[in-house]
A and B are shown apart, each in its own frame.
Chain A
Amino acid sequence: GDSVTQMEGPVTLSEEAFLTINCTYTATGYPSLFWYVQYPGEGLQLLLKATKADDKGSNKGFEATYRKETTSFHLEKGSVQVSDSAVYFCALRKGGGSNYKLTFGKGTLLTVNP
């Protein structure tokens, strides 16, 4: 079945450091790929997405490129801030019509220190 593997956390960085959170997936066909962020005490929010190979999703300084050849969708940010501290989830979605199920990775806790 479909699955998503993302790097184990927790990740602790200093403010302005470079961030990479690795994500790889296993799926048949051509899934859409997503990064969600969960801030403390809040629900998951869509951070960015890509729907086909070589697409780059970007938002709030975060970027991720859909790499079909390596089945990866790594999340990057050039300079993190304390406010980026949260749990980050990589996810994939296949199908259309009534099938809009998301498959999530385990999540990576990021803590950014001032």
Chain B
Amino acid sequence: GAVVSQHPSWVICKSGTSVKIECRSLDFQATTMFWYRQFPKQSLMLMATSNEGSKATYEQGVEKDKFLINHASLTLSTLTVTSAHPEDSSFYICSARDQGQNDEQFFGPGTRLTVL
């Protein structure tokens, strides 16, 4: 299957700082990528749909100015958590849609964010 990477795999930051997480499709082009948040023992919650060359579509209740998404190329989407607070600590997962493989979503390994 296709491969999606995320960087970094974990990050610790101070409250008030911003953190950028990268999601890359390594062997296919993805016009659409998705960002999820996963809390312990809970489901993946879709935060936003990232579309190459256009603005992201955010799910209800997700702050656009807090979670900035940029999808500047067909292989890279970034999620920036601005002015992070301890309640933003979570596991963030991205996926990329491969139109060449029946629109299947391929998932990255996730990024653990801890805000002190």
Contact = CB atoms under 8 A, between A and B. Distances in A.
27 contacts: A4-B43, A43-B93, A43-B106, A43-B107, A43-B108, A44-B95, A44-B107, A45-B1, A45-B107, A46-B1, A89-B43, A89-B44, A98-B49, A100-B32, A100-B97, A101-B34, A101-B46, A101-B49, A102-B34, A102-B44, A102-B46, A102-B105, A104-B43, A106-B41, A106-B43, A107-B41, A107-B42
B4 interface: yes
Contacts of B44: 44, 89, 102, 104
Contact of A44 (B6, B49, B93, B97): B93
Interface string A38-51: 00011111100000
Contacts of B106: 43
Contact of A42 (B51, B104, B109): B109
A57 interface: no
Contacts of B93: 43-44
Nearest to B41: A106
B103 interface: yes
**Category for how many chain A residues contact B:** 10 to 19
Interface in B39-92: 41-44, 46, 49, 51
A105 interface: yes
Given A43-B106, A89-B43, A107-B43, 5 more contacts: A43-B110, A46-B104, A106-B41, A106-B43, A107-B42
B43 A100 contact: no
Contacts of A106: 41-43
Nearest to A103: B46
Contacts of A104: 43-44
Nearest to B5: A43
Nearest to A9: B41
- B1, B43, B46, B97 — most chain A CB neighbours (10 Å): B43
